[in-house]
A and B are shown apart, each in its own frame.
Chain A
Amino acid sequence: MTQRAGKLLTATRYWPTELWANPWSLPRYRAAAAWLGGIVAGIALIGAGVGELAAWGDRLLALLGRLGLSAVVVAWLWLLVKLGCVLGVIVANGLWAVWWERKISAHMQSRLGPMYAGAFHGWAQTIFDTIKLLLKEDVTPAAADQVMHALAPVVAIAPCVMAFAPILFGSELAAAKLDVGVLYIFACAGISVIGIVMAGWASGNKYSLLGGLRAAAQMVSYELPRGFSVVPVLMFAGSLDLAVIDRAQAGYWLGFFPRWFVFYPVVGQLAFLFFLIASVAETNRTPFDIPEAESELVAGFHTEFSGMKWSLFFLTEYGYVLLSSFLLAAFFLGGGSAPLPFLDFIPSWIWMTGKAMLMMFVFLWFRWTFPRLRVDQLMDFNWKFLLPWSFANIGLAGAFVWRGLG
């Protein structure tokens, strides 16, 4: 019995047991941290060199005006430029966010994630993925409602793009200046659920149907606390215009402590948390990803979608994540203002985007840490906890404003 066929493993494969206990003992880790810090500092310095993007926009508009075209044509051209910029941001965000999510999830799970495509840390992975998705066969199940099945992804993504119109990408840097900006964004974001319900219904699949119905219940419910949690901010700023909310947070207490709404005692932190939770639920991400619920409903409402139709749903999800991140930054994290006075030389769009990316990281972090709630627990949490407490928070904010502290 001592004879054996084949070869035995003589040493274990990859057991860096000491390294896992203390990864910082490895020079590679310290070098990577230095690299990351350098990249962040480099972006900030390049931003400082470029200056405010809003100023560049004004210069471009002035240039268009000097071309000798009629005012109507200039207005339309300017609209196209802004539309192109917003669409570009949404699509580029899709590429970036997918790669980033894959990298973050991988590093949280002691993996590496994409490493080969594009040679440097798989940066080209999502570009190749997009090419794959574009070339993929578009399958419509025989049992599906053909028209609704084709229409659903469009109905889902169109409001997402529309909602970006008044979003601030820096102080005064928005595609459209709307006095009712906040209201408009929430109104647009609420329409996407129709696309998801359509997708669930039209697929002719029972899992999709369940996913679509769950999405309808969840997204409609979480609209309420999401809206109400922002009310304190609107009361403090006294406007629904995002630019005004952004300006209201400029300046410092005692000369160094930023006047961001998240730092308003109790009421600011509560509003921030409620808005964050409701936003995660609105974007259908873990721990509120019950409409997709991979382990239960296969893939929920987009089970029967493939190729570009599927990727439109994907783009919608990441679009809403970006939207929520920018809203969180604008409402609570001071928008385009610097956290400390001496950092004012870095332009507002860098601060805004940086804060939004920080919030986006929180979204990704949630997704790879938490389990998923059940559909009725999700509803209980919304109606019995989030909604009453966001009302209470409005009352608290009222007391602040009444005492003249806001």
Chain B
Amino acid sequence: MNSEPRPEMAAENLIVTNPALQTDTMFVNMGPQHPSTHGVLRLGLTLSGEVITKAVPDIGYLHRGTEKLMETRTYNQCVVLTDRWDYCSAMPNNLAFCLAAEKLIGAKVPPRAEALRVVMCELNRIASHLIFLGTYGIDIGAFTPFLYAFREREMILDLYEMLCGARLTYNYIRLGGVAADIDAGWIAKCREFLEFIKPRLDEYDTLLSFNPIFLVRTKAIGLISKDSAVAWGLSGPNLRGSGVNYDVRKAEPYCGYEQYDFEVPLGRTGSCWDRYFCRVQEMRQSVRIISAALAKLPSGELLAKGIAKIPKPPPGEAYAHVEASRGDLGIYLVSDGGTAPYRLHVRAPCFVNLAVLQEILVGKKVADVIAVLGSLDIVLGEVDR
């Protein structure tokens, strides 16, 4: 089972050029309805046999125009819409928008709210990476890890439901703070979950991460070099899988991330497996951050004082970015002094990460399309917005 990259597998060497033989490439339309395109992504693949000679991602099937919709809504109403971008991890979306809006308004978030924001965002990172782990297993052909991952994710969703009543779109982080407080019962349940997930992560490693077939399918596949990763503007685990040490939580700490002791897992070669394992390791780090944050949870207010129900920030612009589950999520907000944002732009990590696909797919097999696409972990809700 030789998994080394082979130069003779380069795209131009794979097209049969015998003049006596009439050969042609085949165009396969993968998606928007396909079991493994993770939503409504369409890939136009040109195949020579089973080998890809050209891959064109086609997006826009889930465009809902949230950026435009927000221009007619008050800032508090906008938070609801942010949930719908990356619906697998909605908390960081809330957070990024609120951070940008708070910069415009000039609000000072109380320490307890900041700690709660950290706890909720990290829980959401675990939930989101669990979805990735499960669906990536299915992409490679292993069905069982999916149900294990969803069993654990269910516990996080239960915790969120106890917190704010919602399981997927929370609208929990508000301008100047958070919507609801946690009590001792919630903290106990959360600790129970953290204790439960630690051995489960080791179980995933034995079941999937170090399975020889999984390794041969994902190591040395979909390699993204350091330079290439930076040049394509990747972020999140996709960037760190290539070995670039950039994490917004470390580079530009927000919400008091500088108080917490955690490591940034890095990959070595930028293969699918490196990106995968970065996420598994990030779950371990998230468990660490949540434990620390729950241990020294400050008391006090949940919301900043003096924020109007319908805020009217002074004219100006603000940019805030957070390390969302899938990468660097940035919000650029322009105010003209009215009740609604004049313009809002989302720097969506999935949208940027998806672009690298057309470079790394050429010369790969059809089966690798799924392995590479899955390892980038896109959510079409965020790509198309």
Complex interface: chain B residues within 8 A of A298 (CB): 34-35
**Of residues B144, B158, B164, which shows the largest number of chain A Cβ atoms within 10 Å of its Cβ?**
B144
Among B141, B148, B369, which residue has its beta carbon within 8 angstroms of that of A371? Answer: B141
| Residues 125-182 (chain B) with a chain A CB within 8 angstroms | 137-144, 147-148, 151, 154-155, 158-159, 161-165, 174, 177, 179-180
Chain B CB within 8 A of A96 CB: no
The reply to whether B365 and A376 form a contact with Cβ atoms under 8 Å apart is: yes
The reply to whether B2 and A380 form a contact with Cβ atoms under 8 Å apart is: yes
The reply to whether B213 and A371 form a contact with Cβ atoms under 8 Å apart is: yes
The reply to whether A372 and B213 form a contact with Cβ atoms under 8 Å apart is: yes
Q: How far is the CA of A381 from the CA of B34 in the complex (A)?
A: 29
The reply to whether B158 and A13 form a contact with Cβ atoms under 8 Å apart is: yes
The reply to whether B158 and A380 form a contact with Cβ atoms under 8 Å apart is: no
Chain A CB within 8 A of B36 CB: yes
Chain A CB within 8 A of B72 CB: no
Complex interface: chain A residues within 8 A of B180 (CB): 1-2, 4
Complex interface: chain B residues within 8 A of A15 (CB): 155, 158, 189, 192-193
| Residues 1-19 (chain B) with a chain A CB within 8 angstroms | 1-3
Complex interface: chain A residues within 8 A of B1 (CB): 373, 377, 380-381, 385
The reply to whether A373 and B213 form a contact with Cβ atoms under 8 Å apart is: yes
The reply to whether A109 and B147 form a contact with Cβ atoms under 8 Å apart is: yes
A228 to chain B, nearest CB (A): 19
B370 to chain A, nearest CB (A): 5
Q: How far is the CA of A289 from the CA of B177 in the complex (A)?
A: 51
Chain B CB within 8 A of A119 CB: no
B108 to chain A, nearest CB (A): 17
Q: Considering only CB atoms, which chain B residue lies closest to A110 in the complex? A: B151
Among B3, B142, B148, which residue has its beta carbon within 8 angstroms of that of A377? Answer: B3
Q: How far is the CA of A214 from the CA of B366 in the complex (A)?
A: 12
The reply to whether B162 and A375 form a contact with Cβ atoms under 8 Å apart is: no
Chain B CB within 8 A of A336 CB: no
| Residues 280-304 (chain A) with a chain B CB within 8 angstroms | 286-287, 289-290, 293-298
Chain A CB within 8 A of B332 CB: no
Chain B CB within 8 A of A8 CB: yes
Chain A CB within 8 A of B214 CB: yes
Q: How far is the CA of A4 from the CA of B172 in the complex (A)?
A: 11
Complex interface: chain B residues within 8 A of A17 (CB): 192, 195-196
Chain B CB within 8 A of A305 CB: no
Complex interface: chain A residues within 8 A of B163 (CB): 8
Chain B CB within 8 A of A374 CB: yes
The reply to whether B26 and A206 form a contact with Cβ atoms under 8 Å apart is: yes
Given A10-B162, A369-B144, A375-B367, A1:B303 Cβ within 8 A: yes
Q: How far is the CA of A103 from the CA of B193 in the complex (A)?
A: 28
Complex interface: chain B residues within 8 A of A10 (CB): 162
| Residues 6-35 (chain A) with a chain B CB within 8 angstroms | 6-13, 15, 17, 20
Residues of A within 8 A of B (CB): 1-2, 4-13, 15, 17, 20, 105, 108-111, 206-207, 210, 214, 286-287, 289-290, 293-298, 368-377, 380-381, 384-385
Residues of B within 8 A of A (CB): 1-3, 26, 28, 34-36, 50, 137-144, 147-148, 151, 154-155, 158-159, 161-165, 174, 177, 179-180, 189, 192-193, 195-196, 207-208, 211, 213-214, 216-217, 302-303, 365-370
Q: List 16 A-B contacts (CB under 8 A).
A: A1-B174, A1-B303, A4-B165, A6-B165, A12-B158, A13-B158, A15-B192, A109-B147, A293-B367, A370-B211, A371-B213, A372-B141, A373-B213, A374-B367, A375-B50, A380-B1
Apart from the given pairs A1-B179, A8-B162, 17 other A-B contacts in the complex at a CB distance below 8 Å: A8-B165, A9-B162, A10-B162, A12-B159, A12-B162, A108-B144, A207-B28, A286-B141, A289-B141, A295-B35, A295-B138, A295-B140, A371-B211, A371-B217, A374-B365, A376-B365, A377-B1
5 A-B pairs with least C-beta separation:
A372-B141, A109-B147, A9-B161, A371-B142, A371-B140
